[in-house]
């Protein structure tokens, strides 16, 4: 059905099935439904429109790219889930794009509660943490592409983070309940066909607005 929708050749059976799902759904967790689009440009437009409707505090996060010296390497970075530029606002709905532990995984949905300087958050978390807040996501390297070598600790990420506020996100847990975390940058390294990992991107880990997604993203695993 998703492939039919992507290529614009919906069968009568697929249309009938989708129409059966056309009903009003009430959500009590504050997370809205996700819309699917065939193209990333459409996804970006839909999410940007929602973001503009939020009259709340905002922050822009520009990715730090390294090693992209040719068009092929630049395309590899463009294909990452982590965008080159990420605009977030308080109350924006986001999706985690990397596994963290058993409760926070790739695809976990949440909402931005506020923006906090990491140093201030760490002090507050140690002494007088807000109920339900549990830790910091970030400071590791994610390797992707051909011959992926897995995850490594990256002091470079922590060193690159200056006094800039990052989002505290309240995620919905798969077995019920919620979990709040400060979301920091990660580094994604791209393995090229020659086996080298010279290209990388550093960006905030909850780097996707989740109210609109590209259709294939819901069927692939990363």
Least confident interval from 10-19, 48-57, 60-69, 153-162: 153-162
Is residue 37 a part of any domain in this protein? no
More confident residue, 75 or 141: 75
Count structural domains, the chain: 1
Is residue 12 a part of any domain in this protein? no
Whether pTM > 0.85 for this model: the answer is no
Is residue 173 a part of any domain in this protein? yes
Is residue 136 a part of any domain in this protein? yes
Count Cβ atoms within 10 A of the Cβ of residue 162 and give its class: 0-12 exposed, 13-18 middle, 19 or more buried. exposed
Is residue 222 a part of any domain in this protein? no
- The per-residue pLDDT for 122 is 66
Decide: 180 and 169 in contact? Cβ < 8 Å.
Answer: yes
Mean pLDDT of the chain: 77
CB atoms inside a 10 Å sphere around CB 166: 24
Least confident interval from 65-69, 91-95, 123-127: 123-127
Is residue 70 a part of any domain in this protein? yes
Average pLDDT over residues 39-60: 88
The pLDDT-based confidence of 114 (bands split at 50, 70, 90) is: very high
For the chain, percent of residues with pLDDT exceeding 90: 18
* Residue 20 predicted with pLDDT over 50: yes
* Residue 86 predicted with pLDDT over 50: yes
d(CA 203, CA 219): 23
Task: Enumerate residues 6+ apart whose C-beta is below 8 A from 164.
Answer: 59, 117
- The per-residue pLDDT for 87 is 92
pLDDT digits (tens, 9 = 90+) for 145-202: 333 333 333 444 444 455 689 999 999 998 888 999 999 888 888 877 666 667 899 9
Average pLDDT over residues 36-65: 88
Alpha helices of the chain — where are they, by DSSP H? 2-7, 12-20, 40-52, 71-78, 118-128, 155-160
Is residue 24 a part of any domain in this protein? no
| Domain span including residue 127 | 57-208
* Residue 124 predicted with pLDDT over 70: no
Determine how β-strand 185-191 pairs with β-strand 178-183.
unpaired
d(CA 112, CA 170): 7
d(CA 171, CA 40): 24
**The tokens of 181 are what?**
């975390």
Is residue 178 a part of any domain in this protein? yes
* Residue 18 predicted with pLDDT over 50: yes
Q: How far, rounded to the nearest angstrom, does the alpha carbon of residue 204 sit from its chain's CA centroid?
A: 8
Query: 215: helix, coil or strand?
Result: helix
């Amino acid at each position: 059905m998703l492939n039919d929708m992507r290529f614009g050749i919906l069968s009568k059976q697929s249309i009938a099935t989708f129409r059966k799902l056309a009903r009003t759904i009430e959500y009590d967790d504050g997370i809205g439904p996700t819309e699917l689009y065939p193209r990333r440009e459409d996804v970006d437009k839909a999410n940007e429109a929602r973001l503009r409707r939020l009259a709340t505090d905002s922050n822009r996060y520009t990715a730090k790219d390294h090693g992209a010296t040719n068009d092929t390497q630049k395309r590899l970075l463009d294909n990452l889930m982590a965008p080159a530029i990420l605009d977030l606002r308080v109350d924006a709905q986001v999706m985690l794009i990397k596994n963290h532990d058993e409760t926070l995984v790739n695809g976990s949905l949440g909402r931005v509660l506020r923006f906090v300087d990491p140093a201030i958050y760490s002090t507050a978390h140690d002494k007088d943490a807000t109920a339900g807040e549990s830790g910091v996501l970030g400071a590791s390297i994610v390797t992707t592409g051909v011959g992926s070598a897995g995850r490594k600790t990256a002091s470079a990420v922590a060193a690159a983070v200056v006094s800039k506020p990052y989002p505290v996100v309240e995620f919905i847990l798969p077995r019920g309940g919620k979990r709040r975390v400060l979301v920091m940058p990660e580094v994604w390294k791209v393995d090229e066909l020659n086996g080298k990992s010279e290209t990388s991107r550093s960006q905030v880990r909850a780097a996707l607005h989740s109210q609109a997604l590209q259709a294939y993203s819901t069927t692939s695993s990363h």
